Amino acid sequence: MFAMNGPYFRRSARLLHQPLTVPLVSPTVRFKNKVGQVKKLKRLSNETPALPSSVALSPEQLDQILKNKNAALLRLANKAPEGFGESWRKSLATEFGKPYFKNLMSFVDGERKQHTVYPPPEHVFTWTQMCEIQDVKVVVLGQDPYHGPNQAHGLCFSVQHPVPPPPSLVNMYKELASDIEGFMHPGHGDLTGWAKQGVLLLNAVLTVRAHQPNSHKDKGWETFTDAVVHWLSTNLEGLVFMLWGAYAQKKGAAIDRKRHHVLHTVHPSPLSAHRGYFGSKHFSKTNDILKTSGKEPIDWKAL
């Protein structure tokens, strides 16, 4: 047993009463240590062999990739809505799987359950049934389908028999009569005869609630028809785009003018036709361009 007043006890007591000290590392030393660690990591990374940036694929692998891509496009094309022309369906397949298009189709389906919607489902995509997408020669851009019964059938400005031509179409016929030799008012408003020759009559919005113009605006149709115009502008050459009015001209702003011909004037509406539509001679100018490009002109009288 140690004596309470012995030397061991006195030494231990002194140690207990001394403050505990921990060696401090200065910021400069810590910084140097960190730099050293970084340099070491860089050195190690430089010593590690780099992986090749790309790996050469065999012809068999490339062929399989192409098959997989085509199969994926086919699956998307099969999601096309009712009445879609085959060549158009394949060319625009990537649009059908996009969220906006799915939402758009759901919206239109919901509208049809609660309201009368024009045109009927089988006529919404009439413009894809008239000719192959590769055979389009002329594009006329409209805005919104007619919202009365038996009018809209999937071609802008066109109406079904026996509905009388609306005022804008009447003005188009007046311009044709002064521009194309031998043209006479056909007595109806069905423009299918033009569409079958490669005239794409495309509205920006493809459906509408009965008697409520622009009721399906900003629901997704504009995005889809922009994609149509983009495909035509990118994949075909020498098309003639007729852009009548500010709306059509804005929609056609992205058309490649180096690849295609763009004619623009005011809308044929009675409100504006006298400010430049009459006398524009777009129909004869279009045929002159087509003939210069080695293409068959449009028979505007074939209605």
pLDDT tens string 179-207: 999 999 999 999 999 999 999 999 999 99
pLDDT digits (tens, 9 = 90+) for 49-105: 444 445 677 777 677 677 665 555 554 545 688 899 999 999 999 999 999 999 999
Q: Show the DSSP H helices in the chain as ranges.
A: 7-17, 27-47, 59-77, 86-91, 93-96, 99-114, 167-179, 192-195, 221-235, 246-251, 282-292
Q: Which amino acid appears at position 110 of this protein?
A: G
**Span 259-276, mean pLDDT?**
98
Domain with 163, as residue range(s), is 75-292
pLDDT digits (tens, 9 = 90+) for 115-131: 999 999 999 999 999 99
Q: Is 297 within the bounds of a domain?
A: no
What is the reported pLDDT for 62? 73
pTM of the predicted protein model? 0.75
Q: Is 3 within the bounds of a domain?
A: no
Strand partners, 265: 244
Q: CA 260 to CA 286: how far, in whole Å?
A: 12
Catalytic residue of the set 63, 135, 144, 190: 144
pLDDT digits (tens, 9 = 90+) for 108-119: 999 999 999 999
Q: Is 15 within the bounds of a domain?
A: no
**Span 165-170, mean pLDDT?**
98
Q: Is 55 within the bounds of a domain?
A: no
Q: Residue 48: which pLDDT band, with cuts at 50, 70 and 90?
A: very low
CATH of the domain at 192: 3.40.470.10
Q: Is 139 within the bounds of a domain?
A: yes
Q: Is 87 within the bounds of a domain?
A: yes
Picking from 239, 42, 209, 208, the residue whose alpha carbon sits closest to that of residue 136 is 239
Give the chain's mean pLDDT.
86
Q: Is 39 exposed, middle or buried (0-12, 13-18, 19+ CB in 10 A)?
A: exposed
Q: Is 144 a catalytic residue?
A: yes
Q: Residue 8: which pLDDT band, with cuts at 50, 70 and 90?
A: very low
Q: Is 33 within the bounds of a domain?
A: no
Q: Is 64 within the bounds of a domain?
A: no
Number of domains, the chain = 1
